Chain A
């Protein structure tokens, strides 16, 4: 008899526990997750430089001078504009090497939309002149293959790649004082 009452109450108990988790889950971001790329080698690529298309960049040239922060950005991206001054500060004050991956939204050849690259160069020059230039150079990822391989879901996003070419950190959103201190700086110092 007692046993039967316990059995009958079991679903209720399970449900109450579940309810607790659901409530907690409601207030945490489901998209927040560890990047699957951390600890993996940087995906291979051969892409031209944004400013001088004859120069080709690849993984070996990227890590030749030691660890690097890869920053995915575009002039169209509003958050990137807020991030530029801080990244410039990182470059000037801490000597952090930053390489940009230029991500252009408008390139869609199957619909006859092609990026106006000369215009992009002008926009980029204008913007970095105004807000600060953190970049050693910019890689032009027109077909967005590299961004896709990096699991980029938007701009800005930043990666720390160490001198062995291993991805050590992946941050979505802008890099600011708080993000740098709590997340990126410890990993950067270790990678250095």
Chain B
């Protein structure tokens, strides 16, 4: 009964989004306020019905309703309740419903918070979101309905959730990522609405900024948590694999970052106008493209959902309509837009232009690396694979100028500035960061490796410049504006990430050992003792845990449990790594196979500063969220 209600609610939401895509358009044409004012109400309705449908699905999972195919395939009566909730978006169908909850949620937020906007602008934005919704809801109803039943022959118990997904990181990672992906549809709607009206003044950029910042912050958090999940769950200590699906989330992030900076130029200086619109379209297009790549089975990945070409065709048509349509509109309208703001070679504008160029180049590198294998194969040149070395090398080239610019840019004034004023601080920062990095690496690790050194120098360069810049602004202004704090957060976070990547990729050590209980092994000054083997059974798995005590200079640091779990329903074995985390280093132990002589294979890692990656990511995201508290955006709303 409940699943049927959920299904029905989805149909209603689809109908409402059809209305939302048509009526306001007629209203705008005829200048009929009664029709245009329907838009916010319809948006609220779509959100409520979608939320209700999602509630029904979660209910079906919690009550083990195996008459629903989705529940039967992705849950099991032994599964703990929090994983049952997570399982409701663990499958393709369920995750798409979650996607729709987010999509309509953002639309709801726009309807609620955009009362200060000119009414035709507001209507247009909601209408564009309505168009997107029509496609998505049609897709879920026709091609991927989460409420499909197993009736009349339903199973007694379900097939269980993929054990890889049974992890806390997996509960929070997809919703955050979707918030980001879908949130970009709001920036997209703002851009399309502006293009449609032909009015691309700086107010458009101002309204779009907080929404873009919010979506971007969610995306940042989603990627960060995803990386942490891979690290703690996949069992071999990696944190980024350049996997097509990771790339699919990274591309919109890069473009959204560019967009965030370019919106600043459009708002403050009325320049980069058509470029900013293009970035807004590209950011959302890349999230859609990412979705297509993940769900259509075009590209093999650890993340791939069950592939089904008919679904792929549907998403591809959606892609063609949304991206093709908006790019067509762009090519017709953007040619006529003139940027007015003039600026010289050394100015805040040119610095942000540099930021944009480098970020777009990075996106192209990732796009090329992800799609080239596909193109290569389809034009009959055989299969190739593009792996880590390509991406790593390209990103080293890109990150150096990026970080150097990033340090200097906040100091430079709009329009034009003199390079002279930069000489002294730049020289001091450079010498300080080189000196500090060298002594740090030498004192801690005893040898200075080039890429770690590079990472730390760049990180310090950014940090020192940021401190210097804050000292200046502090003196000039009584109180630092909140969005300035946000910028500092974003930049310092990036400094952490760059330094962390350099350090952990160069100084991590690992060792494969064969141990009986009672044996010890040494790695990087730590002593690992295999104390005992314990049987650990969970609600839906059975497993073994190796109890490892870690000592440093005869002092016990920590005792950890490295587990190996067997999930009988799915017949899969999972490694649950033991991690002793710390600000300066992680110790990571993963339990391998038992060898014929009854000893166990273990893999030990010591990873310095790996946690800085995620700390940095969270600080960056924090920057995005802080922007939302900027008074300028709120005052604007209260004004009308």
Q: Does A12 contact B (CB under 8 A)?
A: yes
Chain A nearest CB, measured from B255 CB (Å): 12
Which chain A residues (1-51) contact chain B, with CB distance < 8 Å? 1, 4-5, 7-9, 11-12, 15-16, 18-19, 21-28, 30-34
Q: A12 contacts B330, CB within 8 Å? A: yes
* A25 proximity list for chain B (CB < 8 A): 298-299, 374, 377-378
Cβ B371 vs Cβ A111 within 8 A: no
* Chain B: minimal CB distance from A7 (Å): 8
Q: Could you say which of B317-325, B507-515, B612-620 contacts chain A?
A: B317-325
Assess whether A19 is in contact with B320, with CB atoms less than 8 Å apart: yes
Q: Is A95 an interface residue (CB 8 A)?
A: no
Given A18-B371, A25-B374, decide whether A11 and B296 contact each other with a Cβ distance below 8 A. no
Is the contact region of chain A dominated by helix, strand, or loop, or is it mixed? helix
In the complex, B312 has a CB within 8 A of chain A: yes
In the complex, are the beta carbons of A28 and B371 less than 8 A apart?
A: no
Chain A residue numbers with a CB within 8 Å of B566 are: 108, 111
B382 on the interface (CB 8 Å rule)? yes
Q: Are the C-beta atoms of B564 and A21 separated by less than 8 Å?
A: no
The smallest beta-carbon distance between B364 and chain A, in angstroms, is 10
A109 close to B331 (CB less than 8 A): no
Q: Is B118 an interface residue (CB 8 A)?
A: no
If A11-B331, A12-B327, A21-B375 touch, does A110 touch B316 (CB 8 Å cutoff)?
Answer: no
Q: Which residues of B contact A33 (CB under 8 A)?
A: 383
Chain A residues, Cβ within 8 Å of B383: 32-34
Whether a CB of chain A sits under 8 angstroms from the CB of B386 is no
**Cβ-closest chain A residue relative to B328:** A12
Is the beta-carbon distance between A109 and B324 smaller than 8 angstroms? no
Are the C-beta atoms of B335 and A26 separated by less than 8 Å? no
Across-interface contacts of B544 in A (CB, < 8 A): 110
CA distance A34 to B385 in the complex (A): 11
Chain B residues near A27 (CB, 8 Å)? Answer: 309
Cβ-defined contact, A109 with B594, below 8 A:
yes
Chain A residues closer than 8 Å to B542, beta-carbon distance: 111
Q: Which residues of B contact A18 (CB under 8 A)?
A: 371
Of the residues A8, A11, A21, A110, contact of B335 by C-beta under 8 Å: A8
Chain B positions within 8 Å of A26 at CB level: 296-298, 309, 312-313, 316
A54 to chain B, nearest CB (A): 18
- B518: interface (CB < 8 Å): no
One digit per residue, 1 when the CB lies within 8 angstroms of any chain B CB and 0 when it does not, for chain A 97-139 equals 0000000000011110000000000000000000000000000
Q: Given known contacts A8-B330, A15-B323, A34-B383, is B278 in contact with A21 (CB within 8 Å)?
A: no
B residues contacting the other copy or chain, number (CB 8 A)? 41
- Note all chain A residues with C-beta closer than 8 A to B332: 8
Residue B596, interface by CB 8 Å: yes
Q: Give the distance in Å from the alpha carbon of A147 to the alpha carbon of B323 in the complex.
A: 45
> Once bound together, how far apart are the Cα atoms of A24 and B316, in whole Å?
11
Encode B272-314 as 1/0 by CB contact (under 8 A) with A. 0010001001100100000010001111100000000100110
Residue interface bits B249-265, CB-to-A below 8 A is 1, else 0? 00000000000000000
Size class of the A contact interface (CB-based, 8 Å): 20 to 34
B596 pairs with A5, CB closer than 8 A:
no
Check if B313 sits within 8 Å of A11, measured CB to CB: no
Contact assessment for A1 and B330 in the assembled complex, using a CB-CB cutoff below 8 Å:
no
* Residues on B with beta carbons closer than 8 Å to the beta carbon of A22: 292, 296, 298, 316, 319, 374
Q: Mark B334-376, 1 if CB is under 8 A from A, else 0.
A: 1100000000000000000000000000000000000100110
Output the nearest chain A residue to B278 by Cβ-Cβ distance. Answer: A11
Scoring B278, B299, B378 by chain A CB atoms within 10 A of each residue's CB, the highest score goes to: B378
Interface residue B593 (Cβ < 8 Å from any Cβ of A)? yes
Inter-chain contacts of B298 with A (CB < 8 A): 22, 25-26, 30
Residue B573, interface by CB 8 Å: yes
B192 to chain A, nearest CB (A): 14
CB distance from A17 to the nearest CB of B (A): 9
B328 touches A28 (CB 8 A): no
List B contacts of A24 (CB < 8 A).
378
Chain B neighbourhood of A34, CB < 8 A: 382-383
Q: Is there an interface contact between B324 and A12, defined as CB atoms closer than 8 Å?
A: yes
Bound state CA distance, A33 and B374, in angstroms? 11
CA–CA, A159 to B383, complex, Å?
Answer: 20
User: Chain A contacts of B309 at CB under 8 A?
Assistant: 26-27
Closest-CB distance, A188 to chain B (whole angstroms): 22
**A30/B316 contact (C-beta < 8 A), A8-B330, A15-B327 known:** no
Contact of B596 among A7, A9, A15, A109 (CB under 8 A): A109
Q: How far is the CA of A22 from the CA of B375 in the complex (A)?
A: 8
Q: Is A19 a contact of B316 with CB atoms below 8 Å?
A: yes
Counting chain B CB atoms within 10 Å of each CB, the highest count among A5, A9, A25 belongs to A25
List of B residues within 8 angstroms of A16 by Cβ:
324
Q: Using a CB–CB distance below 8 Å, which chain B residues touch chain A?
A: 274, 278, 281-282, 285, 292, 296-300, 309, 312-313, 316, 319-320, 323-324, 327-328, 330-332, 334-335, 371, 374-375, 377-378, 382-383, 542, 544, 564, 566, 573, 593-594, 596
Shortest beta-carbon contacts, A-B, top 9: A5-B335, A9-B331, A12-B327, A33-B383, A110-B594, A8-B334, A25-B298, A26-B312, A8-B331
Given contacts A30-B300, A34-B382, 19 further A-B pairs with CB under 8 A are A4-B335, A9-B335, A11-B327, A12-B327, A15-B327, A21-B371, A21-B378, A22-B316, A24-B378, A25-B377, A25-B378, A26-B296, A26-B309, A26-B316, A30-B297, A30-B299, A110-B544, A110-B573, A143-B596
Q: List 19 A-B contacts (CB under 8 A).
A: A5-B335, A8-B332, A8-B334, A11-B330, A15-B324, A16-B324, A18-B371, A19-B320, A22-B292, A22-B298, A22-B319, A22-B374, A25-B299, A25-B378, A30-B298, A31-B300, A33-B383, A109-B593, A110-B593
